[in-house]
A and B are shown apart, each in its own frame.
Chain A
Amino acid sequence: MFGSVSRRSLLGGAAGLALAPSLGRDASAQQRTRLRMAWWGSTDRARRTQAALEVYQRKNANTQVDTESVGWNDYWTRLATQVAGGNAPDVIQMDYRYIYEYARRRALKPLDEFVPAPLNITDFGQANIDTGKVDGQIFGVSMGVNSTAMFYDKTAFERLNIRPPDHNTTWAQFAELCTNMTRAANRRGFFGTMDAGFVEPAFEAFVRQRGKSLYNGDGRLGFVRDDLAEYWDYWDRLRKAGGAAQGDIQALYRSTPETDLITSGRAAVTFAHSNQLVAWQAVTQNRLGMTMYPKGDRPGQYYKPSMLLSMSATTTQAREAASIINFIVGDADAAPALGVERGVPPSARMRQAVLPTTDELGRAQIEYIALLADKTSPLPPPPPRGAGEVEQLLRRVYETISVGGARVPAAVDQFMAEAPRILERA
């Protein structure tokens, strides 16, 4: 049939020439559905995801999933460009930081119509479903639960016979412990902890422990001058006491596992996210342990979706895309390949499937998430536009203290003046 139509169109001349390519595409589409899926992350993540997708393609022989995987920074550049060019991937790994922006600009497709079939997320628990909602509609499905976490170098602590921090360690005890650690190690360029004065999640936990927040509901700063001053003062003192890394060594950190001071043997403690334990452990010989951030008066940490899966608003294969999302977050066959590299699966049956196949790192993560159960507070609203720039500002201004030798009050003034301007402009 295709042949006869094609011949007639050819006789039709120009019209036929215009038609032929589209007919060709339709014909091949019947044989094979092609979709694109994109995510950010390490090569380890790429390997795992591709392995899982291969299982999917074996089960669904008519589907071909093309993958795109890049680092965090390049990912958002690329995605924004693709969306602007009408060329977005069908299945998009999304971050909580960006989901409101993308959903409200109609770059994502609501997923409600695909629930419960093909997208079965009934065993996620309401809280985990809600983390993907924007204005009442589901725009993202949580891929894993994580939280902020402190990693410590188990090997180094054991060698020096010092007790590592645990979830009952207060900020004051933590400072003392780190100073002791530096002194005990007595090695040039090695410190008890990284300097987390610029680490936004650590600062967020600190202000939440004081009953404040990073941002309030209407997108303005949720803390005051004194909160920041006290936080920076804490780190400034700890650095000057030798407990935290000196400024120009800390400035070598580039937000990648291999430049972190803990993996390059320059600090015994680092501030990170629980699911990152897998990536961080992969680049160091020393064994890493994980515990909560230092303790305050109130809970500072919270559960969050480590990342979400969303669907492009412009996809032509919505049902198939939903079925891929379902496979990744809810099909036991995907579990062995994916493990807990993206955090602990929110789906109960996924967790069951992951448990027997998981290694020590995976179990540590699952136990950590369980440990937090009664020590967290609710997820804050997503950060407002401009939050990414404020995060950079926090680092830049803190570095004027840690590397530039500025005094804390002056730096705090600078931050408190510039941050609202950024938020206003965004």
Chain B
Amino acid sequence: MATTRQDVSAGRIARPAETARRKPIDRQDGAAYMFLSPWLAGLFLLTLGPTLVSLYLSFTQFDLLQAPRWNGLANYERMFTEDQRFRNALSVTFWYVGLSVPLKLAVALAIALVLDKGLRGLTLYRALLYLPSLLGGSVAIAFLWRRIFAYDGLVNEVLAMAIGFDGPSWISNPNYSIYTLVILRAWQFGSPMIIFLAGLRQIPQDLYEAAAIDGAGPVTQFFRITLPLLAPVVFFNLVLQTIDAFKAFTPAFIISGGTGGPIDSTLFYTLYLYQEAFAYFRMGYASALAWVLLVIIAVFTAIYFLTSRYWVYYQDER
């Protein structure tokens, strides 16, 4: 692609034969951009525009009803020097991301490995297992989760019957509430599972056969063949899931009724941002929060990409 673009800029010197070959490609580029144009228009007008405005707003005081008032770095200053809830929201979010992403990926990979063994009715299982991912953000799940993790919920009833243990109200107890949300996230393993499954199908079977002949057991095969060859897929899932987990909003919002409670134990960063913006109408401060989140996500993504060369192995690389 890069070379093509260079050639185009030096187009006049290019040999006629090449030009003839390239021209249709150029026309294809045009067509591609044309097809992309609705999305591009959306990006520039609906995403990029508001994004830049929010950058401006992050330096202002703005309550939606009155015009924004410039107040320089005051929002950022408050955030980093005096805002306890900001610090708490950060720590809740880091906990959540740090626990839920590895757990979700592990569950997704484990299920994908089982499905890859070639079950009968695979498509049905795949569809059924994908279902939670579609339901995860819905209000009904908030109720389901309460039914499961409230003090008289399913979990406690099972515990009481099995070992006679009187469990707490997991979902509304600040010591445990965040874990119920982590479990909710891990339960929605559908999309990384599908991607893992596709990745597993790409691994040549003869490698396993050769390994088996050499006397490698299933565990060795998994760590020596499956995992290394799956690394690009793991990388892809890791990046997407991390970004997604940082942006998680709905589960905490619906399960805590928008409060992030009890005692801010489920106050996700995004939920705090939402409260500042739409409960207390501090749009300027909320915009500043949004930009800090953007930087945090960018830093994480950059770390992944920079370290990837040490652990991600691409088959077509020589």
Partner of B174, one of A73, A107, A403: A403
Those of A251-279 within 8 Å (CB) of chain B:
251-252, 254-256, 259
Q: How many whole Å from B113's CB to the nearest CB in chain A? A: 38
Task: Kindly state the interface size class of chain B when it binds its partner.
Answer: 20 to 34
CB < 8 Å neighbour of A102 from B65, B152, B259, B279:
B65
B65 contacts A80, C-beta separation under 8 Å: yes
B142 to chain A, nearest CB (A): 9
Closest Cβ neighbor of A386 among chain B residues: B280
> Is B212's beta carbon under 8 Å from chain A?
no
Residue of A nearest to B176 (CB): A248
Please tell me if the beta carbons of B262 and A255 are within 8 angstroms of each other in the complex: no
Chain B nearest CB from A413 CB (Å) reads 14
Binary flags per residue of B126-162, CB closer than 8 Å to A gives 1, else 0: 0000000000000000000010001110000000000
In the complex, what residue of chain A is closest to B264 when comparing beta carbons? A396
Cβ of B263 under 8 Å from chain A: yes
Interface stretch of the complex, out of B165-173, B219-227, B309-317: B165-173
Contact status B171-A396, CB under 8 Å: no
Taking a contact as CB atoms under 8 Å apart, the answer to whether A81 and B172 are in contact is no
Which residues on the B side are within 8 Å of A404 (C-beta)? Answer: 174, 262-263
Query: A259–B173 Cα gap in the complex (Å)?
Result: 16
Contact assessment for A105 and B168 in the assembled complex, using a CB-CB cutoff below 8 Å: no
Query: Assuming A77-B278, A252-B172, A389-B280, is B262 touching A83 (CB within 8 A)?
Result: no
Tell me if A403 and B172 are in contact (CB < 8 A).
Answer: yes
A105 to B66, CA, bound (A): 7
Report the Cα distance A255→B146, complex, angstroms.
Answer: 15
Nearest A residue (CB) for B142: A254
Residues of A within 8 A of B171 (CB): 252
Known: A189-B151, A392-B259. A252 touches B169 (CB 8 A): yes
Would A73 and B263 count as touching, CB distance under 8 A? no
Within 8 A of A (CB), among B75-114: none
Structural contact, B64 and A251, CB atoms closer than 8 A: no
Q: Are A396 and B261 in contact (CB under 8 A)?
A: yes
Whole-angstrom distance between the alpha carbons of A84 and B67 in the complex? 9
Q: How far is the CB of B10 from chain A (nearest CB, A)?
A: 43
A396-B264, A399-B262 known; A248-B151 Cβ under 8 A: yes
- Known: A249-B151, A403-B262; 11 extra A-B contacts, CB below 8 A, are A73-B258, A80-B64, A189-B152, A248-B172, A248-B262, A252-B169, A252-B171, A386-B280, A392-B279, A396-B264, A399-B262
Give 8 pairs: A residue, B residue, CB < 8 Å, sorted on A.
A77-B279, A249-B172, A252-B146, A252-B172, A254-B256, A389-B280, A403-B174, A403-B263
Across chains A and B, which 4 residue pairs bring their CB atoms closest together, nearest first?
A254-B257, A251-B172, A248-B169, A77-B278
